[in-house]
Structure 1
Amino acid sequence: MNALRAACLALALVFCCTPPAWGEGFALNEWSARGVALANGLVGRADDVSTLAYNAAGITRLPGTHVMGGLAFIAPSGSVETRRADGTRSTAAKPNTWTAPHAYISHQLNDTVWLGMGVFSRFGLGNSYSGNWPGRYNMYDVGVQTISFVPTLALKLNEMFSVSAGLDIMHGHMYLGTKIPTVAAGTFRRFDNDMQLEGDGWGVGAHLGLHMRLNEQWSVGLSYKSQVTMHLTGDVKFDWHGDNLARRQAHLPEARDCDAEATLQLPDSLALGVAFKPLDNLSFEAGATWTRWSTYNALNIYMKDYDAISNKEWRDGWNFNASVEYRPLDWWALRAGFFYETPVVNEDYADFIVPTNGRKTLSLGMGFTWNNWALDLAYAHVWVNSTDYGSTGASGIRNIGITGGRSKNVSADICMFSLSYAF
């Protein structure tokens, strides 16, 4: 029974410690089409309603009421190379397209006070392989999505300074599929039992923003998103567990459906953006975001009377970005951006579901306005650095005879739209 508990706990660790949907760590930043086209360059600009996600203090620049909604389509690709004593094998991830929605509303109460609500995803991933691939004992299918509901209050202190504060009420849903190597007692027949883990949870954090409009040309933004402690509860279920106790106990480990609990500490981040607008129809922004992934050093799992700790020992990450926006016509805008992210994953504990080790992104986009409507479109391509598995000690990798390997040709294409209206 202890063997099964250990297996359940190891899978719960993977379930809760999932990697990115194409942000370093397991962060997302696809919060609006204009923001993606500008490589997150809305911290200093902070001049449309999606700034509720990037730097909410900027909504004080929006008179009246503004609404926006949209969707990102994320199509990842890549493969994992595994090395064993009997040779090397490369397995491609299954093709799939994942979505990340966003919605925002801001309303001006008076000359000083604005209210806003943002709904967007801060963390998430999706990744799957065939059920018989060499890494199936670590994972073959995983999905994570968080949705943040962020009610916000923003104050315009004077013509130069604005501040904001909001709550991040976050819900997360996660699932994991993996195989458990099982031996039939007596006959010693070996087979793979399928295990599915699914659960959800809630956490609460805070968002703070500061925007400084120094003059008509220069503006500076600063945005802080606090840590969120996510409490997760889920069910562990086996595909085959026998139709009675005697048959269950005739297999090692015993296949028994069970509950799992975890506490996941999601990191805080601090973003700085400096915007320069030399002409009315031309603007630039450069910025940096620091994410404190070093707080993600271990994960405690609780399952009945058994506890486990999984070391992660990640390091803090940086995102450096630059962007340009040009309006050749009053109703038409052209945008481009680039950002570079530093690696955060500690390869001594890397899972197969973590295909990233730093990344680069080039983005393009356009915006169209007519009357009170605006439509923004964006495309981004993500190049992901390879992760090496030669030193990892993660469960389901080293202990099943995999001696090394690496992720290969990992990338993603992102298409996105946002539709907004000003009342």
Structure 2
Amino acid sequence: MKVFRALGLALALVICCSANIRAEGFALNEWSARGVALSGGMIGRADDVSTLAYNAAGITQVPGTHVMGGLAFIAPMGTIVADMDKGTKYTSTKPDVWMAPHGFVSHQLNDRVWLGFASFSRFGLGNSFDSQWVGKYNMYDIGLQTISFVPTLAYKVNDTLSLSVGVEAMYAHVYRGNKIPTVTAASYPNPFDNDLQLEGSGWGVGAHLGMHMRFNDQWSMGLSYKSQVTLNLYGDVDFGYEGNNLIAKSRNLPEARDRSANATLQLPDSIAWGLAYKPLDNLSFEVGTVFTRWSTYNALNINMGDDYSSVNNKEWRDGWNFNGSVEYKPLDWWTLRAGVAYETPVVNESYSDYMMPTNGRTIMSLGTGFAWENWTLDLAYAHLWINPVDYDNTESSGIKSAGIKGGHSENVQANIYMFSVGYTF
């Protein structure tokens, strides 16, 4: 019975907030406050219930029944510098705070077998500008919201080796707003800005694999794999004005008629490795890396019917994350944490757009944890310094055709505030 109560609590924590899942980045790792404070250094440690998101094989180090849930609050900011024929224009993103929830439950069946259930967001992005900004023909509002549900089985082969397997069901909701230059018989020859709103949702399925090795009381190592997920998205396109657009064919634009739309979004697989060292009972270190196959993200093409498709080439590069962290427990009820990470650039600037004004980042994080009786509370803060994107040579639609000769993003950064609450039954 306590397993079902724990599962219900974890689901409630996630579902109540899942409608608001957004994030500055695309691949997310805000899966627990402890994990954020350690810059993702949970692959080798893997010793609390949130390891179901990082390396589920480590759940065999967590006896009994545990539940955890919480929220990340992500506050991005940045500026687009657009070089125009008549000067340079600076436009900042709209200030906002996006939320990403997480929930976990684990239960030990016997000395060998553990069951787990995780719900968290692997991917997400959110970015918005004023609807009349200079890049409005590319986009002025974009969002990708995902939530993954992952039931997991972990098996303790022996005192050294544990393995895990999980099945992932991912739900996604995507929306986009941009302007379309439109000329009608009444407005000819003067164009006006017609509003295009695209919104859709869909599901995809994937798999998770994990391995954890505890060599002795000091050294441990983990390896985890998350598969590709193919999202089949279905939705609608709505126009502010419906009617004939006299320049639609000449400029390869859609006719201004409300319609259904569909798209297939291929999200990449990743493999993570971590090595943890615990010289003292209250002190641990970890170094790790994550390899993400962003080269599978070739294009985002949207079929709008009437033989029209919105073609958005991407051609991204594979990416690496390198991280290091330290955790110190000065008192039985109090823990201090710190981490650092660097992510390599993945965006192909030949197809860069305003949807993702980021290209690699450096992360510094701090956190603390408290424990009393059966309860835990973890708090984390992270700051992201995000590399600029160059638009001088981009071929993405709605940029050069709008009279933008080039430019770049600048002062792009984000703050992350996070909490997790855990309970042991």
Give the aligned partner of residue 206 of structure 1: 207
CA-to-aligned-CA distance 1:39-67 (integer Å, 9 cap, x gap): 00000000000000000001111111000
Deviation at 1:165, TM superposition (A): 0.3
1:178 matched to 2:173: no
Please say if residues 44 and 220 of structure 1, whose CA atoms lie closer than 8 Å, have aligned partners that are also in contact.
Answer: yes
* 1:156-175 to 2 correspondences below 5 Å: 156-175=156-175
Which residue of structure 2 lines up, in the alignment, with residue 82 of structure 1?
A: 82
C-alpha distance in 1 between matches for 2:232 and 2:200: 10
**How many Å separate the matches in 2 of 1:223 and 1:329?**
31
Mapping of 1:25-64 within 5 angstroms?
Answer: 26-64=26-64
Of 358, 362, 365, the match for 2:364: 362
- 8 A Cα contact 2:23 2:100, kept in partner: no
2:47 aligned counterpart, secondary structure: coil
Give the CA deviation at 1:307: 5.9
Measured in 1, the distance between the counterparts of 2:399 and 2:244 equals 26
Q: Which of structure 1's runs of 4+ aligned residues deviate more than 6 A?
A: none
User: How big is the alpha-carbon RMSD for the aligned residues of Structure 1 and Structure 2?
Assistant: 1.3
Q: Determine the structure 2 residue equivalent to 1:152.
A: 152
CA drift of 1:303 comes to 3.3
> Aligned to 2:244, which of 246, 249, 252?
249
- Contact 1:22–1:382, Cα closer than 8 Å, also in 2: no
**1:223-279 CA deviation, whole Å, 9 max, x = no partner?**
0000000001110001122xxxxxx23755442001111111100000000000000
1:291 aligns with 292
Give the corresponding residue for 1:268: 269
| 8 Å contact kept, 1:185–1:252 | no
User: Distance in 1 between the 2:193 and 2:368 partners?
Assistant: 50
Which shows bigger deviation, 274-283 or 192-201? 192-201
Q: Which residue of 1 aligns with 2:305?
A: 304
Q: 3-state DSSP class of the match of 2:59?
A: helix
Q: Deviations over 1:337-383 (max 9, x none)?
A: 00000000000000112111110000000000000100000000000
Q: CA deviation at 1:289?
A: 0.2
AA partner of residue 249 (structure 1): N
Q: Matched residue of 2:178: which SS?
A: strand
Measure the CA separation in 2 of the matches of 1:28 and 1:144: 12
Preserved CA contact (<8 Å) 1:323 1:336: yes
Task: Say if 2:259 and 2:305, in contact at 8 Å, map to a contact too.
Answer: no
Distance 1:250 1:126 in 2: 30
Find the aligned partners of 2:360 and 2:161 in 1 and give their Cα distance. 35
Q: Deviations over 1:203-241 (max 9, x none)?
A: 000000000000000000000000000001110001122
Contact 2:349–2:391 (CA<8 Å) still a contact in 1?
yes
* CA–CA distance in structure 2, aligned partners of residues 298 and 252 of structure 1: 25
Name the count of aligned residue pairs.
396
**Equivalent position amino acid for 2:407 in 1:** G
Q: Deviations over 1:80-105 (max 9, x none)?
A: 01011111100010100000000000
Are the counterparts in 1 of residues 375 and 424 from structure 2 also a CA contact under 8 Å? Answer: yes
C-alpha distance in 1 between matches for 2:302 and 2:258:
17
Q: Which piece of structure 1 moves more, 67-76 or 187-196?
A: 187-196
Tell me the residue number matched to 1:314.
316
Q: Secondary structure at the match of 1:403?
A: strand
Structure 2 counterpart of 1:201, one-letter code? G
Letter matched to residue 88 of structure 2: T
Unaligned runs of 5+ in 1: 1-19, 242-247
Residue pair 1:220, 1:272 contacting (<8 A) in 2 also: yes
Contact 1:300 1:307 in 2 (8 A): no
Q: Which structure 2 segments of 5+ residues have no match? A: 1-21, 249-254
1: CA distance between counterparts of 2:306 and 2:266?
A: 22
Identical residues among aligned pairs (%): 66
- Superposition pairs of residues 216-227 of structure 1, within 5 angstroms: 216-227=217-228
What is the DSSP-based 3-state SS (H/G/I as helix, E as strand, rest coil) of the residue aligned with 1:192? strand
